Amino acid sequence: MKWLSWAVIALVVLWAAMPSLFTGYDPLAGVPAEKLQGPSAAHLFGTDAVGRDLFARVVHGSVHSLSGALVAVAVGLVLGTLLGLIAGSVRGVVDEIVMRIMDVLLSVPGLLLALTVIILLGPGTVHVAIAVGVGSVASFARLARAEVVRVRRTDYVEAAFGSGGTFAGVLRRHVLPNSLGPVIALSALQFGVAILAISTLGFLGYGAEPPTPEWGLLIAEGRNYLATSWWLTTLPGAVVVAVVLAAGRISKEIR
């Protein structure tokens, strides 16, 4: 079923890149006479409380969730890899200081850490993405540091130093490229985690402002109608779950 995971990610990327290919409805315009209609041929995911097509809102909302997840992964990947590279290559006191800070970050639940950053930066899609990225820095740093330490002990790295290679040159040409494999695999996994975290924070009201069709906000808007209009939360939630599971599967393949 590996192809199914790639198909899910490819479909969602196409939603974000070319939403008009998949739906002709305006995600912000509603028809009051068609409010709270169930899934049908006319409205695949039904309609919401003001008559907006839910499928159109999910499709158009994919760009907000995916871009936010990419920013979050980029923040965690760049900062975490840089800190892990410094700690694993310099060692000594620097290694101890960096890793103890990472241990403190890991001891704090990711969602709580993200909320702390949001309180400092303020709500908003970009700030939520940065906050989620900061919460993943420690995981990237520890993995990168472990890989750097492993690669530093290999014969070809010792030979590079012995043949007159500079510290920075050897790190750039040999250590860093050969340490990135597991880190890239973690990036794929963290992409799904970031989508889930961003959707959760959007559900709590820290993400995009209404009427922006962000996935977490869509689920939050439908919770008041869960007893009578199940599709408002179930179908956007199913999309989030599908993307998270697909990203996790792809991460295993890369690893």
- DSSP output for 5-41: HHHHHHHHHHHHH-GGGT--S-SS---GGGTTPPS-S
Residue 30 has pLDDT above 90, yes or no: no
* Coil vs helix vs strand at 53: strand
pLDDT band at 231 (very low <50, low <70, confident <90, very high): very high
pLDDT band at 177 (very low <50, low <70, confident <90, very high): confident
* Coil vs helix vs strand at 204: coil
- Residue 121 lies inside a defined structural domain of this protein: yes
**pLDDT score at 91:** 79
Mark residue 62 as left, alpha or beta (left: phi above 0; alpha: psi -120 to 50; beta: remaining).
Answer: alpha
- Angle of the 180-203 helix axis to the 231-254 helix axis, nearest 10: 170
- Residue 94 lies inside a defined structural domain of this protein: yes
Residue 139 has pLDDT above 80, yes or no: yes
Compute CA distances 205 → 29, 135, 198, whole Å.
22, 19, 11
- Residue 125 lies inside a defined structural domain of this protein: yes
**pLDDT score at 115:** 87
Single pTM value for the model: 0.87
Please report, for the domain that includes residue 93, its CATH number: 1.10.3720.10
pLDDT band at 1 (very low <50, low <70, confident <90, very high): low
CA trace torsion 35, 17, 245, 133 (10° rounding): -100
Compute CA distances 15 → 65, 176, 245, whole Å.
11, 34, 18
Residues 202 and 221: their CA atoms lie apart, in Å, by 10
- The count of structural domains within the chain is 1
83-124 pLDDT, tens per residue?
Answer: 998 898 887 898 899 999 999 988 888 888 888 888 888 888
- Residue 154 lies inside a defined structural domain of this protein: yes
Mean pLDDT across 16-40: 92
pLDDT band at 125 (very low <50, low <70, confident <90, very high): confident
What burial letters (b/e) apply to 167-188, b meaning 16+ CB within 10 Å? eeebbeebbbeebbeebebbbb
- Residue 51 lies inside a defined structural domain of this protein: no
Length of the chain measured in residues: 255
Mean pLDDT across 164-178: 78
- Residue 52 lies inside a defined structural domain of this protein: no
**pLDDT score at 243:** 93
**pLDDT score at 128:** 92
CA-based radius of gyration for the chain: 22
Higher pLDDT: 24 or 254? It is 24
Domain extent at residue 78 = 2-10+68-254
